[in-house]
Structure 1
Amino acid sequence: MSDTSLAEAIAQVPLTFSDWKPLRHLEDPLHKDLSAVTRIGDCLFLACDETASVERLQHLDDGSFGHHQHFALDALVDLPAGADGEMDIEGLCADEGFLWIVGSHSRKRSKPKRDENDRSEALQNMEEIEREPNRYFLGRIPLVEEAPGIFTPTRSDGERQSAWLKLGKKRSALERWLSEDPHLGPFLNIPSKENGFDVEGLAVKGDRVWLGLRGPVLRGHAVVLDLELTQKGQDRLKARRIDGERRYRKHLLDTRGLGIRDMQFAGDDLLLLVGPTMSLEGPAFVLRWRGAAHDDSSGVIAPERIETVAELPYQLHVDHPEGLELWPEAGDGSLLIIYDAPAPERTDPDTFTVRADVICPRQAEDGRS
């Protein structure tokens, strides 16, 4: 992946949020903890991985996004742990009038307390591995166009209803389907920061849903799950059997050990934001999987169908790329990139504003050596 020039930002887009302090359980302001983004009309929908909500920003005359509105998801879907349970939302996608949402489906290990004087107690604290049931959400919510270009999520809009895969406090539908998978089954109970199962990318075309995994990474290959979902009953989605007895296709892509952080279709090609897995830090790239929409069987994707279109600038401990979205107004092929742990120079703490980058991968391609 080193044959691609760094993709410098050709513009920045300010994203301004309301005061985050009413969400008192958050450790960081919303603008410092973004994990997913999608655009529809004049709206950006974003998520913070510590909440059970989505945030809507509207396009303003100066090119920035503001007029923040917070939507608590427990009013729109049924969550097994309620409004206070962390969903760890890692993927958003607007498609055909629905807002699709996916949680990480991951487990987590307790961190040792930094001020812990008793080393044995710190070690014991790390024995606990948590399964938070809200994290296993995969579903869609109808969007209503309340004004030209302005979309609002709602639980019901006539025949269109919120619907999701079956959840459970012990095991979700997706966990059940994957439990016997020879590649992924062994990783379901491993915490995400230890190369365990961790969904971070989401892309949708009609009833077909692609899930990109940050982990596990298998012999340098990232995994994309590919499902076809149909609505069963008022609020239930179910996956068809599409690969023998399996309810999913499984695609492996050589990412040189990097995990998937987000995904976005550009025509029939799938753009993948890839970066370090586990708790590592390092460079991130945008890859293109050519013709992904037409792959109808499981397997390892031929390397010649995967190309690097951009290498993103890298800073230690800050500016971790978490989401990408097409940004055609900046030119053909341009992308918006949002960051977790944004560098101080891209934030304004007084106005709860963070600046996302706009990059043009085509410029990076032209600069290959």
Structure 2
Amino acid sequence: MSDNSLAETIAQVPLTFSDWKPIQHLEDPLRKDLSAVTRIGDCLFLACDETASVERLRRLDDGSFGDHRHFALDALVDLPAGADGEMDIEGLCAQDGFLWIVGSHSRKRSKPERDENDPTEALEEMEEIEREPNRYFLGRIPLVEEAPGLFTPAEADGDRQAAWLKLGKKRSALERWLADDPHLGAFLSIPSKENGFDIEGIAARGNRVWLGLRGPVLRGHAVVLDLELKQKGKDRLKGRRIDGERRYRKHLLDTRGLGIRDMRFAGDDLLLLVGPTMSLEGPAFVLRWRDAAHDDSSGVIAPKRIETMAELPYQLHADHPEGIELWPEAGAGALLIIYDAPAPERTDPKTFTVRADVIGPGRANSDQS
């Protein structure tokens, strides 16, 4: 990756939320824990990875986004752990009148108490690896246009209905498909922050869905899963067999060891936000996978088809890039970037506001070779 492609921040967009305290199970303000973003019309839909909900902000006359509305997803879909179970939503995509939602599909290891006096007890605490069933959600919800540019998630809208892959308290459909995969099967039971299986991006076109993995990274290559899903019954999505007997294609991209944090289509190219795979501080880049929409077989993507668009500014312990969205009103190639652990200077605690960056193309683009 080139070191001379540092992105230029050309604008900032204020995102203002309502008071976060009434939301159950949320320890930190929404603005500090954003994990996914997508835009449709005048609406931004965002997710916090600690809830089972999506948040809608509406574009205001001054160009900021506010008028926050909170949508609890257990009112629209069946969640095995109900409203109290964390979904760990890491990807959102508004496409063709639907809001696509994906949880991380990851397991997590218990953290030891930092002030624990008994080191043996702390070690025992770290033996526990949890599987939270709501995290394995992959599905779509209809978006109803209540007024020009204003969209609301709904359980159904005429013939369009909410639908999702089969969930289960022990194993989801996607876990079942991947269990015997020679590259990924062994990583399903490994915690996400330890190079285990971890979905952090989604892109969709019609019934075709791409899932970007933060982990595992395989010999420096990030993984994108490519599925074709069709509705089967009232609320069920089913995967077509598209790669021999498999219900997914598998694309490996040389990201120099970085995992995928989000994805978005720009024409037929897929833009990839990439960053550290595990709980590490490190750089983040926006890459372009040329003509990704037309790859119809599994394989390793030729390095000449992967370009570095921009390197994002790096701060220690702050401003971790978590989501991207096209921002055409700022010019060709402009992108909105949202952050986890936002730096204090981009937040206003009194108004529950955080400022997202709009970046322009980097000063230079270079092929990864």
2:212 match: secondary structure: strand
The aligned counterpart of 2:223 is: 223
Aligned to 1:90: 90
d(CA) in 1 for partners of 2:324, 2:247: 27
Shift of residue 13, structure 1, vs aligned partner = 0.2
What residue number does 1:125 align with? Answer: 125
**One-letter code aligned to 1:295:** D
One-letter identity of the residue aligned with 2:237 = L
In 2: Cα distance, 1:209 partner to 1:280 partner = 29
What residue in structure 2 maps to residue 5 of structure 1? 5
Q: Is the Cα–Cα contact under 8 Å of residues 8 and 361 in structure 2 kept in the other structure?
A: no
User: Does structure 1 retain, via aligned residues, the 8 Å contact 2:6–2:362?
Assistant: no
1:316 and 1:39 mapped to 2: Cα distance?
29
Aligned partner of 1:46: which letter? L
In the alignment, what sits opposite 1:294? 294
- Partner residue of 1:45? 45
The 5-angstrom pairing of residues 1-369 of structure 1 reads 1-361=1-361, 363-365=363-365
- In the aligned structure 2, how far is the partner of 1:308 from the partner of 1:184? 26
Work out the CA distance in 1 between the residues paired with 2:281 and 2:124. Answer: 27
Q: Distance in 2 between matches of 1:344 and 1:364?
A: 30
Question: Are 1:221 and 1:253, in contact at CA under 8 Å, matched by a contact in 2?
Answer: yes
Matches of 1:144 and 1:362, distance apart in 2: 36
Q: How many residues align?
A: 366
Please give the alpha-carbon distance, in whole angstroms, between the structure 1 residues aligned to 2:327 and 2:63.
12
Q: Once the two structures are superposed, what CA deviation does each residue of 1:137-179 show, in whole Å capped at 9, x if it has no partner?
A: 0000000000000000000111110000000000000000000
Q: Percent same amino acid at aligned positions? A: 87
The alignment partner of 1:10 has SS state of: strand
Cα gap change, 1:49/1:188 in structure 2, threshold over 3 Å: closer, same or farther? same
**Hey, what's the Cα distance between the residues in 2 that align with 1:134 and 1:274?**
25
What is the CA-CA distance between 1:6 and the residue it aligns to?
A: 1.1
Determine if contact 1:93/1:99 at 8 Å carries over to the other structure: yes
Distance 1:86 1:249 in 2: 28
> Is the 1:7–1:364 contact (alpha carbons within 8 Å) kept by the matching residues of 2?
no
RMSD: 0.9
Q: Per-residue CA shift, 1:109-157, capped at 9, x if unaligned? A: 0001111100000000000000000000000000000000000000011
Superposed CA offset, 1:299-349 (max 9, x none): 000000000000000001000000000000000110000000000000000
TM-score (norm 1): 0.98
Three-state SS of the structure 1 residue aligned to 2:253 is strand
Letter of the aligned partner of 1:59 in structure 2? Answer: R
Corresponding letter in the other structure for 2:348: D
Aligned partners of 1:4 and 1:240: how far apart in 2? 43
How far apart, in 2, do the equivalents of 1:76 and 1:363 lie? 44
Check the 8 A contact 1:4/1:309 in 2, yes or no. Answer: no
Deviations 1:166-193 (A, max 9, x none): 0000000000000000000000000001
> 1:8 deviation in Å?
2.3
Secondary structure of 2:9's aligned partner: coil
Secondary structure of 2:63's aligned partner: coil
Conserved 8 A contact 1:4-1:308: no
Residues 244-301 of structure 1: per-residue CA shift (max 9 Å, x gap)? 0000000000000000000000000000000001111100000000000000000000
Cα distance in 1 for residues equivalent to 2:363 and 2:62: 25
Which amino acid is the alignment partner of residue 34 of structure 1?
L
1:362, distance to aligned residue in structure 2 (A): 5.0
The DSSP-based 3-state class of the residue aligned with 2:329 is helix
TM-score by structure 2 length? 0.98
- Give runs of ≥4 in structure 1 deviating > 3 Å: 362-366
8 Å Cα contact 1:323-1:338 kept in structure 2: yes
